[in-house]
Amino acid sequence: MRAPDPREAGAAAGAAVRTLVRRVRIRQGVGRLRSGFWPIVQASLAAGVAYLLAQLVLGHAQPFFAAVAAWVCLGFSFDRELRRVAEVAVGVAVGVGIGELIVELIGTGWWQLTVVLLTSALLARFIDRGPLLVTQAGVQAIVVVGLPAAVAHDGAFGRWTDAAVGGLVALAVTLLLPSDPLRRLRSLADEATTELAETLETIGRGLRDRDLDELGAALVRGRASETSLADWRDTARKAEEVARVGVNRGQRSDIHRLAEQAVLVDRAMRSVRLLARRAPTVVAPDGTWPEVEVLADEVERFAAGVRLLASAVGGGGAEADARALLLEVAGTADPHALGGGDLRVASLVVLLRSPLVDTLEAAGAEPAQARESLPEL
């Protein structure tokens, strides 16, 4: 029998890692597509309606800026605070209006563009402190100066009225179809917490099967989850800002709770990645493994608790079942008992304790209760 070629084994391991990363990224992409589908549909329809209204009501042949204003104001997510949409709408209108005026008076060119940008940005800054307003005013002013030919089609200030129509359509969509930040947040919470559970499950399998490739895959999976966790943290932060002044004030406590859980689950994932990186160190130089079956059981029970937590945060249900199981797991996370007298295994149990505390807090346990649930070292 031919001895295995190390290069072939390395190539196979590399291919497996690439396949895993590809699968994780595809799943994350599908999640983003699912959560962004309706906002994109709404923004696309709003741009088309704004274009049509500018044609029918204003009689403009090519109301380009009506569609641009509607799309830019609405964007492609559910994070549509009325103030933010209004800021962008006013910024677009100011930029297009100043651009039209300057082009009518002094024509186009590099120095005219400088004057337009300076004037529109200063005026936008005077109107409001919002950075979106200033940014959009400047961008739209540049576009107007850069596309002077459209003036001939719709007359003087035709593009300004187009932009006004687009902004009004975007405001109407925002008022008539208010966003539900909780739905998006819960979807992201479910996805990110499930990533944590799957990373733990992969570590558990790697330990039980004594498979170094599986432990390597756990580390890859944990690193690939950073996108989901970042999306959850960022969306939670934005939703909290919106809830302070928006129409979703009644959801403020739920949004704040999900924002706290995002930080805790992210912290737990960082610790679990460290666990995955250190797990292969239990293997002795001669390739022998210590007794790790009991530790594998503990990691898999931990993963089951995180699965329950993912279901709770994703569906808005009670976290009591997840908390109860995680408390049981934490109560047995004793390096002396699980280590079996092997310091290498005991060190992995120590690494397991920190993410247990974080996930317990995410499941509703008080910080003191979470820490006290662990056996004393």
Q: pLDDT tens for residues 14-57?
A: 565 567 667 767 766 776 676 667 777 887 888 888 888 888 88
The answer to whether residue 130 scores a pLDDT higher than 50 is yes
The answer on 193 and 144 residing in a single domain is no
Q: List, for residues 192-209, the tens digit of each pLDDT value.
A: 999 999 999 999 999 999
Q: What integer is the mean pLDDT of 333-337? A: 88
Query: Is the Cα torsion angle 80, 81, 83, 87 positive or negative in sign?
Result: negative
In one-letter notation, the amino acid at residue 363 is A
The answer on 192 and 163 residing in a single domain is no
The answer on 278 and 134 residing in a single domain is no
The answer to whether residue 178 scores a pLDDT higher than 90 is no
Q: What integer is the mean pLDDT of 158-176? A: 79
Domain boundary among 141, 176, 211: 176
The answer on 202 and 131 residing in a single domain is no
Whole-model pTM? 0.65
- Give the residue numbers spanning the domain of 84: 36-176
Q: List, for residues 204-251, the tens digit of each pLDDT value.
A: 999 999 999 899 889 888 888 888 888 888 888 877 766 665 545 557
The answer on 329 and 248 residing in a single domain is yes
Cα separations in angstroms, 181 against 82, 256, 351: 13, 12, 35
Alpha carbon distance 265, 271 (integer Å): 10
Q: How confident is the model at residue 252 (pLDDT cuts 50, 70, 90)?
A: confident
Q: How confident is the model at residue 3 (pLDDT cuts 50, 70, 90)?
A: very low
Q: Which two tokens stand for residue 225?
A: 């989850």
Domain boundary among 141, 156, 176: 176
Q: Give the number of domains in the chain.
A: 2
User: Is 16 inside any structural domain?
Assistant: no
Q: List, for residues 56-101, the tens digit of each pLDDT value.
A: 887 877 777 788 778 777 776 655 666 667 777 777 777 777 777 7
DSSP codes joined into one string, 230-258? HHHHHHHHHHHHHHHHSTTGGGHHHHHHH
Q: What percent helix, strand, coil does the chain show, rounded to 5?
A: 80, 0, 20
